[in-house]
Chain A
């Protein structure tokens, strides 16, 4: 009973409600949308965004931001695709991609903590560097002719509905959720984002935690890159361009506060599914899917503005309470003149 109550109070519930309502509304306009086959297509298509969103959640929960994940995805995809094309086993491609992710994450983390570069600037710069590296690495050409068996992986499914990729991603996400909420190290991320000075005061290694968050973000972006290769079947130099906005919007939509400290990867996943389905929804509503990015951007801003207005009111209230507590509760000791 208590658990049930807690579940209904969670921030993720409003995201889930949003998702269901969106699906119902689209289904009302175009019933074809609600066909089981289509729903599963929608879910299966969200794997890349779910991975990105889960990874960047770590960074956002610690109160920072990472806009380099789109490029990280692209570079990891390009590197692994060339390896696969060259006949390397897929495990080698996966490890290479993850190394790319760790490298980018480490650079981001060190820039933000040791060099104290504001995270938006640091990761924006790294985004440019990594995107440039893709062009250099591929000579600006597409990486094609990926082995068929690897491409087929993305189609393999359980009971002809859920792909293994989606299934594994959800399992993986639940594991991460467990680590974040039930382990000591996991709680440090939220603590750092919630109150950095306070975290320092009780002995949490603030800088280390942030660096780990960036590395996790990089690794997830890299894994998303591998999935991208399998699903799309080729890699262009612009692969993953702009995905960071979708991932950030997914997190915010899933109840993760950009101020840090609040949110879960479950929420990020729900947000990512919503984000991934927007283009599909547009098609079913017979709009052009060209509106996709515009709508994502609008959603992002609307939610963040609403959230920050609420936050500001809470802060102001707390400040006033603090000041009021300092004054004498009853009128006494007035001036003698």
Chain B
């Protein structure tokens, strides 16, 4: 806990001191100190998993901190549940609006208030007039667009006369005009002395509305202070890990593209969550797909894999158009997808390791009765090659560590002998040792001539492995880099939408 240099707690609206939080073995927050005073807007930026949302949920009483204290107007407060935070005038507008879909707009805003309905109605109308927002109050919430829902959430917070508003990426689904009116509103609120925590992925917004900025990385605040003290470049630097030692030695030979024909081509591909994607992948190439969460990378991958509808464009695999094909067809054509959330989509948790490994291979090995011998052989091979740590093939999948589970999932994808593998966040939540093993596996794939699409928010991973990289930003590819250009600076700048051709070398 470092109190030196912090303002005295009594002068602040809310002060956090030494906030720590773990989820099982995963340390999410490692001692956060943060203050906000009347009329300040603190922009909170940072990559995915930096701990921004967790921190805000602790302030709101949704989670409880393991260590550390929260002070409101100088007094220590225990935020044991959201209702306590509400009483203290804190309101969180979540990124995904949490309205009651079957209630009207007005009911949604007024629920939980003790006041008279007519009185509340007049106040809502007054607030909306002041903002120039137009939403019919008798509409059902499930007919609202996502942007309108967000406005309703904000109205809720305003009607509560909240003194501390937390806005979690409020602009991520608003249109340009709505963003303008939101910013005007924030200016108003500032003057009224309301303080705002503003989580965003857009650096330009920081300079537009924030008074202060705090950058979070790996559960720590790496940089904070008045916005006027910083430039965009400073912020980008703050987002980067300090002096990362790159294990570039292992980086394999550069690809010679002259004789290669792309194995997978995506042309003007548009679907739900992404638009106009053009890219091609060559055999034996690792193509990094970088970007922040919500940039549309996973949707892009699952749509290729036949799990969602295509709006327009083409997917061409080995010269054959497979746009909109079913998952089974896509698999048969030689594309395999290893999902991001291995618990939900990846593993058969109560099955044993052997059957997990061979489950995708069954269609090739067996007609009707299972061919146990070839199943066992296959599983043994992968356990050995991938260094999967198990007591035996019959160990239950759920008892493996995250890293070993991930190896099993990748191995299973490979057992179908794919030509293209899409790996979605392959090393999220696994330890350093297993990470190295996964990298070795990915490099092995490359040597075997498999094309790898590597989706990752871990830019070090993209730098270490990729032959080329594209960056997705708000659903489109806004940059693509060749091998020499791939570095943390470029990737970070581009995925936060502030890459400039000459600004970075």
Contact = CB atoms under 8 A, between A and B. Distances in A.
Interface of A: 184, 187, 190-191, 194-195, 197-205, 257, 261-262, 314, 318-329, 331-337
A327 B92 CA distance: 24
Interface in B106-153: 107, 111-114, 142, 145-147
Given A198-B98, A203-B112, A329-B175, 14 more contacts: A202-B111, A203-B81, A261-B101, A262-B102, A322-B146, A325-B145, A325-B172, A326-B273, A327-B274, A327-B296, A327-B476, A328-B474, A331-B275, A333-B473
Specify which of B100, B107, B145, B276 lies most central, judged by the most chain A CB atoms within 10 Å of its CB: B100
A325 B299 CA distance: 13
Given A202-B86, A326-B173, A335-B278, A190 B100 contact: yes
B99 interface: yes
A327 B474 contact: yes
A329 B470 CA distance: 20
B343 interface: no
B173 A325 contact: yes
B444 interface: no
A123 to B, nearest CB: 24
Nearest to B476: A328
B474 A191 contact: no
Contact of B299 (A187, A261, A323): A323
B475 A327 contact: yes
A200 B82 contact: yes
B170 to A, nearest CB: 12
A326 B474 contact: yes
A197 B482 CA distance: 45
Contacts of B146: 318, 321-322, 325
A321 B101 contact: no
A191 B478 contact: no
A191 B112 CA distance: 10
B294 interface: yes
A182 to B, nearest CB: 9
Contacts of A205: 83
A326 B274 CA distance: 8
A176 B28 CA distance: 47
A202 B296 contact: no
Interface in B460-477: 470, 473-477
A232 to B, nearest CB: 38
Nearest to A260: B102
22 contacts: A184-B112, A187-B111, A190-B102, A191-B100, A194-B103, A200-B62, A202-B82, A202-B86, A203-B82, A203-B86, A205-B83, A321-B145, A321-B146, A326-B294, A327-B273, A327-B474, A328-B275, A329-B175, A331-B276, A333-B473, A334-B476, A336-B480
Contacts, number: 121
A118 B52 CA distance: 33
Contacts of A200: 62, 81-82
B468 to A, nearest CB: 9
Contacts of A184: 112-114
B435 interface: no
A194 B107 CA distance: 12
A331 B100 contact: no
B476 A314 contact: no
A184 B81 CA distance: 20
Contacts of A314: 142
Interface of B: 60, 62, 81-83, 86-87, 92, 94, 96, 98-103, 107, 111-114, 142, 145-147, 156, 172-176, 272-276, 278, 294-296, 299, 470, 473-480, 482, 497, 501
Contacts of A262: 102
A329 B112 CA distance: 36
B98 A328 contact: no
A108 to B, nearest CB: 24
Nearest to B160: A202
Contacts of B107: 187
A308 to B, nearest CB: 15
B477 A324 contact: no
Contact of A323 (B99, B101, B113, B273): B273
A190 to B, nearest CB: 7
A261 B83 CA distance: 21
Nearest to A184: B114
A244 B470 CA distance: 58
Contact of B100 (A261, A323, A328): A261
A336 B474 CA distance: 16
B100 A195 contact: yes
A191 B111 CA distance: 8
B173 A322 contact: yes
Given A191-B100, A322-B173, A327-B474, A335 B479 contact: yes
A337 B478 CA distance: 10
B476 A202 contact: no
A312 B389 CA distance: 41
B477 A326 contact: no
A327 B297 CA distance: 11
A40 B244 CA distance: 83
Contacts of B92: 201
Given A320-B272, A326-B172, A326-B294, A261 B102 contact: yes
Contacts of A332: 476
